[in-house]
Amino acid sequence: MQDTYKSPCCSASRNTGAGLEPSVINPTQHALVNSGTPVGMSYIDGGTFEMGTDDTLGYPSDGEGPIRDVYLKPYYIDTCSVTNSQFRKFVQNTGYITEAEHYGWSFVFKGLVSPNIARTVQNHPIETPWWWVVNSANWKNPEGPGSSIRNRKNHPVVHISWNDAVQYCNWAGKRLPTEAEWEFAARGGLPQMRYPWGNELTDRGKHLCNIWQGTFPEHNTQTDGYLGTAPVKAFKPNNFGLYNMVGNVWEWCFDWFSIDHTNQRLRDPQGSPTGTHKSMKGGSYLCHESYCNRYRVSARSSNTPDSSTGNLGFRCVQDVVTADTNIELLQ
């Protein structure tokens, strides 16, 4: 495994203050009767799998290893990241205002910012200067004023904090996947492979996901067809029928991020009970092998629950519940 930790090119964090416990939205537990696979979701049968990796391409300081046996009960998972169209419906039905809108700004990759907006940018993180603080950037205006999602209805919604994602899940009667559920689903039944389709990044030169090509962060050759986000079904799904489980956008998971793992067999793990950062999986259109090859199924990163960036979205899961279990949950 690689020895050094790469600074968080993956995303930039809002500065909530050292040692401060971030505020988080409490997920709602939904008791549902199993009446078939919900529309837009895939049934995952669960079982035992090897989570994590000892791959030489992994980052030990990210807590990718050691490999550990994990058992999961069956569940449903969205076949795609939540789209702009789906999130718009949520906002229209609830009047919800995202944290990026409350803050009045979000992080945008500099290569996507228009010249007019670029002249107004005054701040960026020192460690990751390609992340610009853009006023009025949010899910509706991903690159700030003058940008829109008019032609990106089937793209993943971005500039979504963990708290925003939980609010959507509560409204939809779903929840965020645990990191174990996300990784099991992403693997598509292929044990210890690097990617959802196998160990080779491309198929005879054909790109299978939306990541950075060229020299990061100066020049993206866009040989995969995209500079920013791609439609949620732009590439072939994995064996479980799931699209873009790596690349395109990072996806929030339920767990608090931790690098401490047990070697004991786990059953439906939900991560550390406390923390400051939430787990993210999948990598994004900004990942590149020279700096951040976190577009592997075992790779992981994190961010504070109130943070939002232009490469961070989510997908949902839903429990498989029988009528008998439903009664137990309601007691």
Q: Is the pLDDT of residue 6 over 50?
A: no
Q: Residue written as tokens 């339920």?
A: 254
Give 121 or 59, the one with higher predicted confidence. Answer: 121
Tens digits of per-residue pLDDT, 253-311? 999 999 988 878 999 999 999 999 999 999 999 999 888 899 999 999 999 999 999 99
Q: Measured on CA atoms in the order 97, 103, 109, 112, is the torsion positive or negative? A: positive
Side chain identity at 278, as an amino acid letter?
K
Q: Dmax over Cα atoms in the chain, in whole Å? A: 60
- Residues 51/70, Cβ–Cβ less than 8 Å: yes
pTM score, two decimals? 0.92
Residue-level pLDDT at 33: 42
Tokens of 297: 């199924």
Token pair of 181 as six digits: 């559920």
Question: Pairing between strand 41-44 and 75-78?
Answer: antiparallel
Least confident segment among 57-66, 144-153, 162-171: 57-66
In the chain, pLDDT over 70 holds for what percent of residues?
Answer: 89
Q: With bands split at pLDDT 50, 70 and 90, how would you rate the model's confidence at 46?
A: very high
Across the chain, what does the average pLDDT equal?
Answer: 90
For residue 34, pLDDT beyond 70? no
Residue 12: per-residue pLDDT = 86
Q: What percent of the chain has pLDDT over 90?
A: 79
Per-residue model confidence (pLDDT) at position 1: 45
Position 4 confidence tier, pLDDT thresholds 50, 70, 90: very low
What the block records as the tokens of 252 is 């929030």
- Residue 325 exposed, middle or buried by CB count within 10 Å (0-12, 13-18, 19+): middle
Of residues 247, 280, 12, the one with CA closest to residue 137: 12
Strand partners, 303: 278
Give mean pLDDT, residues 76-102.
Answer: 98
Say how many C-beta atoms besides its own lie within 10 A of residue 303's C-beta: 25
> Are 247 and 287 a contacting pair, CB within 8 Å?
yes
What three-state secondary structure class fits 272?
strand
> How is 51-115 classified by DSSP, letter by letter?
ES---TTS-GGGT--S-EEEEE--EEEESSPPBHHHHHHHHHHH----HHHHHTEEEEEGGGS-H
User: Does the pLDDT at position 324 exceed 60?
Assistant: no
- Torsion angle, alpha carbons of 287, 289, 295, 299, to 10: -110
Looking at the DSSP bridge assignments, the partners of residue 203 are 206
Closest CA relative to residue 2, chosen from 64, 56, 69, 83: 56
Note the pLDDT of residue 164. 98
Q: Is 3.90.1580.10 the CATH classification of the domain at 49-105+148-330?
A: yes
Alpha carbon separation from 96 to 171, 253, 308, 314 (Å, rounded): 10, 21, 16, 17
Model confidence at 322, pLDDT cuts 50, 70, 90, reads low
29 has a pLDDT exceeding 90: no
What are φ and ψ of residue 150, in 5° steps?
-55, -40
Residue 292: per-residue pLDDT: 84
Please state the rounded mean pLDDT for residues 173-181: 98
For residues 155-160, give the mean pLDDT.
98
pLDDT tens, 218-265?
999 999 999 999 999 999 999 999 999 999 999 999 999 999 888 789
**Residue 195 binned pLDDT confidence (cut-offs 50, 70, 90):** very high
d(CA 59, CA 45): 29
Angle, in degrees to the nearest 10, between helices 84-94 and 162-172: 70
Contact indicator for 33, 329 with CB cutoff of 8 Å: no
Q: Is 163:99 a contact under the CB 8 Å cutoff?
A: yes
- Residue 18 reports pLDDT greater than 70: no
